[in-house]
Structure 1
Amino acid sequence: MKNFESRGHLLTEQVNPNSEDLDRLTSLELVDLFNQEDAKTLSAIAAARFELAKAVEIIAEALRHGGRLFYIGAGTSGRLGVLDAAECPPTFCTPPELVQGIIAGGAGALVRSSEDLEDRAEDGAEAIAQRQVHDLDVVVGITAGGTTPFVRGAIAAAKARGAKTVGIACVPADQVRWDVDVDIRLLVGAEVLAGSTRLKAGTVTKMALNILSTGAMVRLGKVYGNRMVDVAVTNTKLRDRAVRTIQDLTDLSRDRASELLENSKKRVKLALLMHWSGLDAEESSRLLTKYQGNLRAAREAVKQK
């Protein structure tokens, strides 16, 4: 593996000329500067739109055929991956093992700095082996500077096992190259605080992960229109959202929508199909299964009968 001892040339490590007087700015000037710099994240996402779309398709195809999605990173990058993975079960009612976040140093690194652990490529490879990554899986390596040995070791190990790989970095490919199936470069420029990639690099990475996970779940039929019809109804707020979703899509009263939700065992997608089809819960469930959980496809099938 390439040795990255000298990192001063990397875009993520450079000094931002717009913030050279950062410690002399007023609070309002500081806020305005952050706002101006953060605007660059939108352009970075737009510039990577084709790569992001390709990654969405690869992830959706893998999950459709029984594969899993893994995010792997260290420090801020690792925390962002774990965050996105953790939010998939409540948002899309997915099993916890479907989307997993791996961070150098394990769970303890989520709340305590452990950046020294990112320098071991063998640990990244071991994390891939422990999870028995295989050819149906997708592994997304997240590293702002593109150089993190833990991530690069994991990507190499994943490729060796036949998994699809996606790389997310905030430096140009001509500065740091790696062998991945989809190479996503989010070029936001030098940070307001030199080298602090929890800033723009972290923000644009979160934006990209939002697109990857949500986009893949949309492709899998876990969304109807722009509604979370696979939401896990686990608390009062989510139950209220589920009832309102049923109301909005059916014009039912709140009481009737609540009753329908209970009859479907709090499965919004099933409740909607029961209403539209006139079928009971068991028959509606079988119909959803036939169409791989895609509510729109199941509803269209009912209409054509």
Structure 2
Amino acid sequence: MNPSENRGYLTTEQSNPRSADLDVLSTDDLVKLFIDEDRKPQLAVEGASGALSAAIDAVALRLSRGGRLFYIGAGTSGRLGVLDAAECPPTFCSPPELVQGVLAGGAPALLRSSEGLEDLETGGVDDLKGHQFSADDCLVGIAAGGTTPYVLGALQYAVDLDALAIAMACVPAEQAPMPCHLDVRLITGPELLTGSTRLKAGTATKMALNILSTGVMVKLGKVYGNRMVDVSASNSKLVDRSLRILTDLAGLSREQGLPLLTEAQGSVKRALVMAAGSMDLEQAHILLANHDGNLRAALGSIGIHLNEPLSRLEQSQAPNRNS
């Protein structure tokens, strides 16, 4: 066994005094302690808001020019990246190659821990090369403690290529500097279970990735208002959601919306353009293509704006003007 250098200086590795008696707490007190401590990830993400904003704009610009977004990590950090990447195609109808998660150990490591692979600095580089990672692409290197060789090697490779390199860690930069162009630090402090960064650090990382990927997709025009108009109607739940979007934005009944959605080949965007602009499928496709798939821009070019009605909650709370 070969230990790493002493990492006890990292805040993610330090003991949390609030949980010094964790093993003798009552179950109720244990649960209350975790709930109270789990307020800190929200504050950690808030503290990184400026870096997240910069990352969203930089990634969106690269993707709009044909680049791709990669998350890379080992253990929990890598699994969170894979999870976020996997959610993009069904949510935003993005091609699977647009946002990709790269995990040390590959697919088997999703189910069975293979943390030993994170010690290989060349491993991250080799995995990126296997995906034909290029200067046009973006890399988010995720490492809770900021010292994972697999991630550091990948980030340095991205920097050397002049790709966009974004570091994401849960310790201060002075404790663990990482090669990058943008540095997202989610300072969550010591874990209640010492060193178990699947806890607060993992929660903060998941929140940050949610914001990053959603923000990028908003910038790419895959959202209208707060509706996922690029949703892929690939199962009954998503067909229902698509129909409700057509109802809310275009005033169509479900009976009107279903055949239109079928004619639009499951594309909510095309169905909305067809309904609002009185167009056929080909015309809707051309109009959207001429505006890079941006629904608001496409409809605006023909003088149409979809005025979203009040939500059901807002309707129930609105004053009765007839009284």
Give TM-score, length-normalised by structure 1.
0.97
Asked if the contact 1:16/1:192 (under 8 Å) is kept, the reply is yes
CA distance in 1, matches of 2:153, 2:89: 28
User: Which runs of 4 or more aligned residues in structure 1 lie more than 3 Å from their structure 2 counterparts after TM superposition?
Assistant: none
CA distance in 2, matches of 1:98, 1:180: 21
CA distance in 2, matches of 1:208, 1:297: 28
Superposition deviation, residue 179 in structure 1: 2.0
CA distance in 2, matches of 1:64, 1:4: 41
Aligned to 2:47: 47
CA distance in 1, matches of 2:295, 2:251: 18
Asked if the contact 1:141/1:151 (under 8 Å) is kept, the reply is yes
Alignment-mate amino acid for residue 30 of structure 2? L
Aligned to 1:186: 186
Alignment-mate amino acid for residue 291 of structure 2? Y
Q: Does 1:155 align with 2:176?
A: no
CA distance in 2, matches of 1:5, 1:297: 54
Question: Which string of whole-angstrom CA distances, capped at 9 and with x for unpartnered residues, describes residues 13-35 of structure 1?
Answer: 00000010101111111111111
Asked if the contact 2:144/2:169 (under 8 Å) is kept, the reply is yes
Correspondence list, 1:283-298, <5 A: 283-298=283-298
CA distance in 1, matches of 2:176, 2:48: 17
Question: Which string of whole-angstrom CA distances, capped at 9 and with x for unpartnered residues, describes residues 54-82 of structure 1?
Answer: 00011111110000000000000000000
SS of residue paired to 1:105: coil
Alignment-mate amino acid for residue 276 of structure 1? A
Aligned to 1:133: 133
Asked if the contact 1:70/1:99 (under 8 Å) is kept, the reply is yes
Q: Does 1:278 align with 2:278?
A: yes
Aligned to 2:309: none
CA distance in 1, matches of 2:265, 2:105: 39
Correspondence list, 1:21-170, <5 A: 21-170=21-170
CA distance in 1, matches of 2:132, 2:87: 23
Aligned to 2:250: 250
Cα distance change of structure 1 residues 81 and 30 upon mapping to structure 2, 3 Å threshold:
same
Aligned to 1:174: 174
SS of residue paired to 1:190: coil
CA distance in 1, matches of 2:289, 2:299: 12
Which segment drifts farther, 174-183 or 9-18? 174-183
Superposition deviation, residue 148 in structure 1: 0.1
Which segment drifts farther, 126-135 or 110-119? 126-135
CA distance in 1, matches of 2:221, 2:151: 31
CA distance in 2, matches of 1:251, 1:276: 10
Alignment-mate amino acid for residue 19 of structure 2? S
Question: Which string of whole-angstrom CA distances, capped at 9 and with x for unpartnered residues, describes residues 136-162 of structure 1?
Answer: 100000000000000001111111222
Superposition deviation, residue 134 in structure 1: 1.2
Question: Which string of whole-angstrom CA distances, capped at 9 and with x for unpartnered residues, describes residues 115-170 of structure 1?
Answer: 11100001111112111211110000000000000000111111122210100000
CA distance in 2, matches of 1:178, 1:143: 10
SS of residue paired to 2:126: helix
Asked if the contact 1:128/1:158 (under 8 Å) is kept, the reply is no
Asked if the contact 1:133/1:161 (under 8 Å) is kept, the reply is no
SS of residue paired to 1:198: coil
Structure 1 unaligned spans of 5+: none
Alignment-mate amino acid for residue 76 of structure 2? T
Superposition deviation, residue 258 in structure 1: 1.1
Superposition deviation, residue 4 in structure 1: 6.0
What is the aligned-residue RMSD (CA, Å)?
A: 1.1
Superposition deviation, residue 259 in structure 1: 1.7
Asked if the contact 2:139/2:163 (under 8 Å) is kept, the reply is yes
Asked if the contact 2:159/2:181 (under 8 Å) is kept, the reply is no
SS of residue paired to 2:271: helix
Asked if the contact 2:92/2:228 (under 8 Å) is kept, the reply is yes
Aligned to 2:240: 240
CA distance in 2, matches of 1:76, 1:266: 35
CA distance in 2, matches of 1:235, 1:130: 32
Aligned to 1:206: 206
Aligned to 1:228: 228
Question: Which string of whole-angstrom CA distances, capped at 9 and with x for unpartnered residues, describes residues 229-278 of structure 1?
Answer: 10111111110110111011112111001121111111001100111111
Asked if the contact 1:172/1:187 (under 8 Å) is kept, the reply is yes
How many residues align structurally?
A: 302
CA distance in 1, matches of 2:118, 2:202: 17
